Amino acid sequence: MDKREEELLVELVSANGVPGNEDEVRAIFKKHAEPFADKIMYDGLGSIIAKRVGAKEGPKIYFSGHMDEVGFMVTQITEKGFIKFQTLGGWWGQVMLAQQVQITTTEGKIFHGVIGSKPPHVLTPEVRNKPYEMSDMFIDVGASSDEMVKAWGIRPGDMITPYIEYRRMNDTKFMLAKAWDNRVGTAVSLKVLENLAASGHPNVVFAGSDAQEEVGLRGARTSANLVDADISFALDTGTAGDTPGMTPEEADSVLGEGPQILIYDASMIPHKKLKEFVIKVAEENNIPFQYTVIAGGGTDAGQMHLARNGVPSLAITVPVRYLHSHTSIIHEDDYLNTVKLVTEVVKRLDEETVRKIKEY
């Protein structure tokens, strides 16, 4: 990976953006997409889409990550200056305690905090041996009163994001950061747009990043209706199954062995002919890939494929360890091979190919 690509990834994961507060990420996307786009478009929820016309007005191909990360929202400031919060996206309480966070005010000021709870020393054995209730957690910002917190400008509704600094793990290809879900998909979208601008393409491409995926695939519904594509791809993350304790059924993906082609999730069954086309492109170009199933979740393709009269859609995902936590890990090669696969797929989606995929 060259230095410029790594800098893009670091810039994206360092940005803060929970559902409904994606401004920072949207600005980064626009900055990197504008040099390669004929037009920058937005839906009413804030999803951003870069349109680029190829050699001719061919079929419309949409590929999109999503901007938002799992996080929290300020709901209440206690009399003693502690912050109560609402989770945004799917959190597991056991990964939250004693983790650092940042609160971003409406004015853009950032305050540091840590998620706290009662100490285990005062809990009964029954409570201590059970997962701690998220409703009993709070954020300590080092304040002594609600007046102090309010004077800082912190208000209910303010964004709270996990805090961690990006790092490459011990000079390997493993990369640690918050928000790989789904800044890595956003990076793939931007890099594919850049590649197509350099190589040419026989279609009209729409490279995007959707708003509010983590709270119900909301931006994908509105952006898909705006684009009105012939073919759509969700560029997202999937679970890795290569850590201790995973069953053989769960261990279907390994970091470093390529992007995942999602053959089933709770939000959609992928279009069969489109799926087979993508697999053929991967095999012909010797691009490694893995099959995966997400029985309990979905991607933006779950909304993309229901747009208008129905759109052949597929999710292509980057495997990630420790999803929906402060500290997730990807493998550099999986990102690079996802970019390569999506680029090669889109380059081959000419009018005749799309017609064959869509015909019954």
Determine whether 213 is an active site residue: yes
Say whether 344 sits in a helix, a strand or coil: helix
Say whether 67 sits in a helix, a strand or coil: coil
First to last CA, the chain: 41
Say whether 181 counts as a known binding-site residue.
yes
Say whether 331 counts as a known binding-site residue.
no
Kindly report the number of other CB atoms within 10 A of residue 108's CB atom: 9
Annotated active-site residue in 22, 194, 213, 332: 213
Say whether 214 counts as a known binding-site residue.
yes
The answer to whether the beta carbons of residues 220 and 94 sit under 8 Å apart is no
Kindly report the number of other CB atoms within 10 A of residue 320's CB atom: 25
The neighbouring-strand residues paired with 313 are 232
Say whether 324 counts as a known binding-site residue.
yes
Say whether 66 counts as a known binding-site residue.
yes
CA-based nearest residue to 45, from 215, 234, 210: 210
The Cα 67–Cα 215 span in angstroms is 12
Rounded (5°) CA angle 65-283-191: 30
User: Helix-strand-coil percent breakdown of the chain, rounded to 5?
Assistant: 35, 25, 40
List, as residue ranges, the binding site.
Answer: 66, 181, 214, 236, 324
Per the annotation, where are the binding residues for Zn(2+)?
66, 181, 214, 236, 324
Instruction: Return the active site residues.
Output: 213
